[in-house]
Structure 1
Amino acid sequence: MGRIKHTGYCSVVVHHTRPADLRTFTSKIRAYSLSDQNDTGIWIRRNFPAMQYVASRHGFNQYPVAAWLGISSPSVDVGGPDTEIISQEWLTANIQIGPLGEKYPDVLYIMEGDSPTLLYNIPNGLGDPEHPSWGSCGGRYTPNPLDGDAQYGDAVDVVQGLNGQTFTSNQATIWRWRDAFQHEFAARIQWTLAPDGPESNTSHPPIVVVNGSCRTS
């Protein structure tokens, strides 16, 4: 939330020093808040409606229904997402290895609770930060009524789980990618173990070339 507060502060400065430029300035800002953990997000959205602001919206202190729990909570959509690959045992065997991986902390509540905000911005071909409704490893979000394309809240996806059943939830917009981002994480840890680092021959994502042009993340 510190960066969100800083964003609000900068907007206040522009409001007082360059009021004519305020809407243009705030329309260029992209904010993603996991939840409204205090009044900061509500205040920013109310005072700077042109700012693109993505947040999982729910009642005060109702975090169990937040979309971001789909990253690793074992209690969401039970039977749908793979819970083995977010367990302490899996992390110990696949992540907490080598000089970098051994710095990774043990699970206290859930692992990587804040990571949807990071994964949302990684250009892996699954989404575009300019279009929250497309979805990505950070979840999928939809414009709030009357807010146009600036302010977004939770969307819902229909996803088939490991048990063969269909799950319809906001958390499914994230856990549907759990296998992908966890195994990507494990592959990157393997890079740190190779003698020549990330440039080694260990597993890397494929590089797509279209009309002679490619873009890697």
Structure 2
Amino acid sequence: MIEPDPLATPRIVVTTDPELDDLNSMLRLLLYSNEIDIAALVYSASQFHYAGDSVKDIAPYRWPAPGDRMHIDIAVDAYEKAYDNLVRHDPRYPLPADLRRLVKVGNVKNVGDTDEPTPGSDLVRDVLLGDAPGQVFAQAWGGMNTIARALLSIEEEFFGTERWDEIYALITRRTVITAFAEQDGTFAEYIRPRWPDLEFRDVATTAWGYFASAVVPEEDAVYLSPNWMRENVTSVGPIGEEYRVWGDGKHMADGFDEGDYFGLVDPRKEDLEAQGYVVWCPIQPAGSWISEGDSSAFALHIDNGLRNWEHPSFGGWGGRQERDAHDPHRWHSVGDSGQGLAGPITDRGEVGQWFGAYQRDFAARLRWSVTPEYADANHAPRVDADGPEHRVVSAGERVELAFTVMDPDGDEVRIRTYVDENASTSRAHIELAESAVLVAIADDAPTGSVTHVIVEATDSGEPMMTGYARFVLSVE
């Protein structure tokens, strides 16, 4: 069997429920579809949203009204309106018609629904079994049930046949499930017992979610503000127009939803509670950021140089994960306090440090969507390593890491170099020389430890954009 190439561009499958932040994440994802290989966009259920089943007398729960345009289709519609401009900035943007072919309805009737195959689960099944040179990341933005149904269909077809060992090895060697926590019971009840070697990364983060204001650095709080959101997001073209912010008058589901008061303009907590709302998220000024909880899942794959997807411990715009103490194939966000709201709000995934760069990059891409001339918009600088990005070193060794910076717009670029202490397990002293970083590995660096050196390049365009290179030095 051909082993998946760990450095090949991965394919991604997205399963998603109709939470408002899933719409926001979907809009952002499509702005990055020029550099992310999207293989499926599938509606799914979760414990927070399901469509119901009249045959089994299951009522819909926090689900859009029949006939309403659903959030994936809303995002693709907006993308189609912006496509002619986007493709001027990168010809790799997929045709809207190609994206529409990836949109399917998965298992949506009930929380944890895996009763039967659906067009969505069949598409996920085909992607997991199909030709792909690298890994396949199956993302659960809601529940994992549609992914579980795809795996169950594979098991039903091949278990007990002479091909089962081959198929099991294929799936477990290249498939990674990423999820914002477990929003149904299908991982614990089916996936882990029947697929014990499958890698699962819980990529739940705080800085991309409803509680971002509690963990974003003070200097980056502006990127949550009504003024910044209005000037850089909601007023910028068809994609920005669909983006959800506080007080926008919109709602998620059909009928009264006790947890959805985001569309109301500057309500008072006591008035909301009197109307029957459960005020679980602090109220923000009208026009403010609400959430993009699932953007951490695909941020792993953005081609910014941090190589976030290559290993869970690397970290980057999509957060950083640690291995679970009880399951060698499970990783969870650093500082993970679980999905519950009890206890202090922490920066799960250590992503607050990247918030400003990711928001500015988003704003720049939104400007692409309304700018027909390449020269009239900003584009990110690139940092390329002149030599291997992974190196074996010795304790006390001095290493020179050469790199090249290119800005496509000819902007001035500010270079910053530093040791990523979060991802590193050994110390080092670094100095920036011309087009190189001089690294002195600590004399007491233990065998097996690693030092991550980041080269960060930020241009002078508007909005400023940032590219990176990550060098990983392993001590032997």
Q: How does the TM-score come out when normalised to structure 2?
A: 0.36
Correspondence for 1:203: 378
Q: 1:210 to 1:49 in 2, by over 3 A?
A: same
Correspondence for 2:173: 27
Q: 1:200 to 1:51 in 2, by over 3 A?
A: farther
Secondary structure at the counterpart of residue 133 of structure 1: coil
Moved more, 74-83 or 34-43: 74-83
Matched, 1:112 2:292: yes
Correspondence for 1:68: 205
1:133 Cα deviation (Å)? 0.9
Larger RCO (CA within 8 A; separation ≥ 6): 1
C-alpha separation between the residues in 2 aligned to 1:15 and 1:128?
A: 31
Secondary structure at the counterpart of residue 196 of structure 2: coil
C-alpha separation between the residues in 1 aligned to 2:215 and 2:201?
A: 23
Matched, 1:40 2:186: yes
Q: Which runs of 5+ in 1 are unaligned?
A: 57-66, 158-167
RMSD between aligned residues: 3.1
Correspondence for 1:85: 223
Please list the CA deviations of residues 159-186 of structure 1 after superposition, one character each: whole Å capped at 9, or x if unmatched.
Answer: xxxxxxxxx9542611110010001111
Match of 1:52 among 199, 204, 215: 199
Code of the residue aligned with 1:26 in structure 2: it is: T
Correspondence for 1:11: 151
Matched, 1:189 2:328: no
Determine if contact 2:217/2:353 at 8 Å carries over to the other structure.
no
Runs of 4 or more consecutive aligned structure 1 residues displaced over 4 Å after TM superposition: 78-81, 209-214
C-alpha separation between the residues in 1 aligned to 2:178 and 2:385?
A: 31
Please list the CA deviations of residues 28-71 of structure 1 after superposition, one character each: whole Å capped at 9, or x if unmatched.
Answer: 21211111122123232343222221115xxxxxxxxxx42212
Matched, 1:178 2:363: no
1:112 Cα deviation (Å)? 1.5
Match of 1:152 among 331, 335, 353: 331
Q: How does the TM-score come out when normalised to structure 1?
A: 0.74
C-alpha separation between the residues in 1 aligned to 2:207 and 2:363?
A: 19
C-alpha separation between the residues in 1 aligned to 2:187 and 2:303?
A: 25
> Whose radius of gyration is greater, 1 or 2?
2
Secondary structure at the counterpart of residue 36 of structure 1: coil
Q: 1:15 to 1:130 in 2, by over 3 A?
A: farther
Secondary structure at the counterpart of residue 200 of structure 1: helix
Determine if contact 2:333/2:349 at 8 Å carries over to the other structure.
no
Please list the CA deviations of residues 140-195 of structure 1 after superposition, one character each: whole Å capped at 9, or x if unmatched.
Answer: 001112433x21112249xxxxxxxxxx9542611110010001111112222323
Q: Decide which structure has greater helix share.
A: 1
Determine if contact 1:54/1:152 at 8 Å carries over to the other structure.
yes
